[in-house]
Amino acid sequence: MQNFEFYNPTRIVFGPNKIAELNRLVPQNAKVLILFGGASAEKNGTLAEVRTALSQHEVQEFGGIEPNPTYETLMKAVELIRSEKLDFLLAVGGGSVIDGTKFIAAAVNFVGEPWDILTTHGAVVKHAIPFGTVLTLPATGSEMNEGAVITRQATLTKLAFMSEHVFPQFSILDPTKTYTLPKRQVANGVVDAYVHIMEQYLTYPVDGRVQDRFAESLLLTLIEIGPKVLAQPEDYDLRANLMWVATLALNGLIGAGVPQDWATHMIGHELTAAYDIDHARTLAIVLPSMLSIRRTEKRDKLLQYAERVWQITSGSDDERIDQAIAKTRAFFESLEVPTRLSAYTLGQDAVHHVVKQLESNGMVKLGEKKNVTLDVSQRVLEASL
Ligand code: NZQ
Ligand code: ZN
């Protein structure tokens, strides 16, 4: 096992009716800004519950944070917070609202150009104002991690930053708040969580036994509940399981002490920036080809994955690997998440464009061995046509 330091200070408050706990969780004397996305949190009553719970607090609101949150919109919230001297943020929504809130929290007291937070991937962040979240979409894990992904509209640049200063203080996970999600977003959530696990699991063996078995149990749970959670939108236990799996998939635990890949995500971010494809959908396009093209360096883990996750035990090494990748692709497709660029009418031009973008964003040595060069990324994308 590799050396590691694990730190995660986020308090999770899980279950129905837990939004009422905001009164206790948000400091009494805080000047609060509630942040949300489009209409969903208002429509499904989540915001009403939040307002009731904070009725004894001083509260303002900022709506309109878009999916794949933009720097341009977020800077408007930064101005509001500065001018009104607000000191506590509450994100109500999915990964986009939570990521946006993380950036805002870091940008408010940042001296200099806040976009540097992204170009340095968080290295310049020395403090952030405190915030909590109410999660409405299980997918990204942002509710219990220190990462955020922000898009600059002007240049169509989508970059990630990480900083221990942007862990949420608390996150409320009420599975009933996910009942109103459109099927497409639920499927996105299953796929995003699945690929988060794969990015930390499917590398090379370092004898991280508990990390491997923990990752495999999360993958098996997603395979088991994926189709059901789409078919039965108001089944509490299914939604509760999806919510907790998605959080555990990216809260640092399964990635501690093991190599991590993330090449699929970096290429996926470029596809979203250029063609506005939902985050999870970009991952479904890239991951199967990524595993296939890099099968030599990932051989041991691919065989372990085939056996322990898909129960594939017969055939040559390459046959078992092919079957495991085919099963992965079929799982995504069964959730109605396409796994080919052609599903978005994208072809060779898109491959060239994405490779250029990777180059200009410095994404030229990706993966757990830093050997995913532009040439490898190009082959992966071509295999996804
Ligand atoms: O804007 P509203 O009206 O709220 O609608 C949202 C949005 O249109 C809707 N929605 C959310 N909760 C709902 C709901 N609709 C009905 N009922 C509910 N309960 O869902 C749509 C998508 O929301 P969004 O927050 O964009 O989705 P998601 O949670 O998948 O977040 C995606 C973003 O997270 C980033 C992605 O790059 C992308 O920008 N990621 C963040 C990560 C992190 N912080 O660790 C890791 C991920 O790999 C990912 O990159
Ligand atoms: Zn993701």
For residue 328, give its domain range: 183-383
In a domain, 2, yes or no: no
Same domain membership, residue 210 and residue 195: yes
pLDDT at residue 327, rounded to an integer? 98
pLDDT at residue 113, rounded to an integer? 97
Same domain membership, residue 300 and residue 264: yes
Same domain membership, residue 197 and residue 112: no
Same domain membership, residue 223 and residue 153: no
Counting atoms of ligand 1 from 1, which one is nearest the CA of 180? 17
List strands edge to edge, sheet with 131-135: 11-14, 170-173, 131-135, 88-93, 31-36, 58-62
ipTM, two decimals, is 0.99
pLDDT at residue 252, rounded to an integer? 98
**CA-to-CA separations, 163 to 71, 126, 148, 160, 288, in angstroms, rounded:** 17, 8, 9, 10, 30
Same domain membership, residue 200 and residue 161: no
Domain end call among 115, 147, 177? 177
Tokens matching residue 104: 């805002």
Same domain membership, residue 343 and residue 238: yes
pTM: 0.98
Counting atoms of ligand 1 from 1, which one is nearest the CA of 265? 48
In a domain, 188, yes or no: yes
Single-letter code of the amino acid located at 180: T
Instruction: Report how far ligand 1's centroid is from the alpha carbon of 299 (Å).
Output: 33
Same domain membership, residue 213 and residue 303: yes
pLDDT at residue 135, rounded to an integer? 98
- The tally of domains found in the chain comes to 2
CATH number, domain with residue 37 = 3.40.50.1970
Instruction: Report how far ligand 2's centroid is from the alpha carbon of 196 (Å).
Output: 6
**CA-to-CA separations, 299 to 196, 256, 305, 322, in angstroms, rounded:** 19, 21, 10, 11
pLDDT at residue 100, rounded to an integer? 98
In a domain, 5, yes or no: no
Counting atoms of ligand 1 from 1, which one is nearest the CA of 195? 48
- Ligand 1 residue neighbourhood (C-beta within 6 Å): 37-41, 44, 67-68, 93-97, 99, 136-137, 139-142, 145, 147-149, 177-178, 180-181, 185, 188, 192, 250, 265, 279
Beta bridge partners of 132: 90, 170
Same domain membership, residue 313 and residue 230: yes
Instruction: Report how far ligand 2's centroid is from the alpha carbon of 279 (Å).
Output: 7
Among all bound ligands, the one having the nearest atom to the CA of 185 is 1
Q: Rounded distance, CA 189 to CA 220, Å?
A: 15
pLDDT at residue 348, rounded to an integer? 98
Stated length of the chain: 385
Same domain membership, residue 76 and residue 205: no
Same domain membership, residue 378 and residue 325: yes
All residue ranges of the chain with pLDDT < 70 are: none
